[in-house]
């Protein structure tokens, strides 16, 4: 079983959005459980509007996450994707220590980059595998990625953070999909948004499979 945590100590980074789209893609590869560990419940709200019965969803907190993961393993779940609370450092640290890899979505702006630094520091202290995803960015042009994205990538790299190639752009189809309880790969499978999220998911799965998870 592979556990992917999506985390950032700043709210509004797009964690729930990433989790929802990753969850639908993961289900195509094996039984998948989404875990909503954020009291705000955005991932749960998306799930309740969803017609499809998969992926599965559970809610968890610091006291129940171990039992949730143990039950998932017993039930043959292949992928667990966890949406974490932004302002609960102890819970985030506990989740990081249990994940194969932690995905840190980062919007290309100064406040978001500063918050990402705090999350990176936590991961380093725990020796937890991490990777950053530039999220909600201006769409790229045919020639190159937007300047603000290139600058954000440079800042993250200077922090010593691994950053996945490409980006997840700010596109209306992401929101339209979530409103209808879908992932963007279900809503518009041939669109650019679907291509971006699929590329990120493919890279994240390779990382998760390369890192062993602590019991």
> Which residues fall within 8 angstroms of residue 44, CB to CB, at 6 or more apart?
36, 57, 59
pLDDT over 70 (residue 143): no
Q: What does the pLDDT read at residue 12?
A: 82
What mean pLDDT do residues 182-190 have?
Answer: 94
CA distance 190 to 29: 19
> Which residues fall within 8 angstroms of residue 208, CB to CB, at 6 or more apart?
2, 3, 4, 100, 101
- What b-and-e string marks burial along 60-75, b requiring 16 or more CB atoms within 10 Å of the CB? beeeebeebbeebeee
- pLDDT interval class at 57 (50, 70, 90): very high
pLDDT over 70 (residue 155): yes
What is the value of pTM for the model shown?
0.93
Kindly list the domain boundaries of the chain, sorted by start residue: 2-207
pLDDT over 90 (residue 59): yes
Question: How does pLDDT run across 67-90, given as a tens digit for each residue?
Answer: 999 999 999 999 999 999 887 888
Question: How does pLDDT run across 21-34, given as a tens digit for each residue?
Answer: 999 999 999 999 99
Which superfamily does CATH assign the domain made up of 2-207 to?
A: P-loop containing nucleotide triphosphate hydrolases (3.40.50.300)
More confident: 12 or 24: 24
Among residues 101, 89, 82, the alpha carbon closest in space to that of 43 is found at: 82
Tell me the average pLDDT of the chain.
91
- pLDDT interval class at 35 (50, 70, 90): very high
More confident: 145 or 135: 135
Q: What does the pLDDT read at residue 107?
A: 93
pLDDT over 70 (residue 171): yes
Question: How does pLDDT run across 195-210, given as a tens digit for each residue?
Answer: 999 999 999 999 999 9
Among residues 132, 58, 119, 60, the alpha carbon closest in space to that of 92 is found at: 119
DSSP E strand stretches across the chain: 2-6, 32-37, 56-59, 79-84, 101-106, 130-137, 168-169
Q: What does the pLDDT read at residue 76?
A: 96
């Amino acid at each position: 079983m592979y556990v992917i945590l999506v985390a950032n100590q700043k709210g509004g980074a797009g964690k729930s959005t990433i989790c929802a789209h990753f969850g639908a893609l993961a289900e195509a590869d094996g039984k998948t459980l989404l875990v909503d560990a954020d009291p705000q419940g955005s991932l749960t709200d998306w799930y309740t509007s969803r017609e499809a019965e998969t992926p599965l969803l559970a809610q968890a907190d610091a006291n129940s996450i171990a039992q949730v993961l143990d039950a998932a393993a017993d039930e043959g779940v292949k992928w667990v994707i966890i949406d974490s609370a932004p302002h609960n450092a102890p819970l985030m640290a506990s989740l990081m220590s249990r994940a194969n890899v932690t995905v840190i979505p980062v919007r290309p702006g100064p406040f978001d980059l500063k918050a990402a630094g705090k999350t990176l520091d936590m991961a380093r202290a725990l020796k937890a595998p991490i990777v950053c995803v530039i999220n909600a960015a201006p769409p790229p042009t045919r020639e190159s990625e937007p300047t603000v994205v290139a600058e954000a990538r440079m800042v993250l790299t200077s922090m010593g953070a691994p950053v996945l190639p490409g980006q997840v752009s700010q596109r209306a189809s992401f929101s339209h999909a979530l409103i209808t309880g879908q992932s963007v790969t279900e809503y518009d499978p041939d669109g650019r948004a679907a291509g971006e999220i699929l590329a990120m998911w493919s890279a994240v799965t390779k990382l998760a499979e390369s890192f062993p998870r602590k019991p």
